[in-house]
Amino acid sequence: MGTKGYPGNVDMELDCRDDKVYRICDETVTATAVEYLTNMYRTTQRSYTFIYFAYVDVLGHDHFWCSEQYNNGVAVVDEQVSVH
């Protein structure tokens, strides 16, 4: 984790570029994002939040948007988010 970009603009960044198993990386991203958002909304902080899921992105590039593989990847991320 680290902060990149303009100072004060990024609260949290989780970098999984070296993780070749994107689905596992997205599990970490999901758990971290849910914890971060839960804590953020318990306070008075409000901000724009972007969450990037590498697994779905890679499936989209490899198999195209709305392909069976892509839709299955979206279902995996949806399940990961709903578990938390």
Per the structure, the count of domains in the chain is 1
Q: Give residue 47's domain range.
A: 22-83
Q: Is the pLDDT of residue 1 over 50?
A: no
- Is 46 inside a domain boundary? yes
- Is 40 inside a domain boundary? yes
Each residue of 30-79: pLDDT tens digit?
888 888 888 887 876 666 778 888 888 989 999 998 999 999 999 988 88
7: left (phi over 0), alpha (psi -120 to 50) or beta: beta
Quote the tokens at residue 12: 């949290």
- Is 7 inside a domain boundary? no
- How much is the pTM? 0.65
- Is 5 inside a domain boundary? no
Q: Pick the residue with more confidence: 66 or 7?
A: 66
- Is 66 inside a domain boundary? yes
Highest mean pLDDT among 6-10, 19-23, 64-68, 79-83: 64-68
Integer Cα distance of 77 and 56 in angstroms: 8
- Is 64 inside a domain boundary? yes
Q: Find the mean pLDDT for residues 4-9.
A: 54
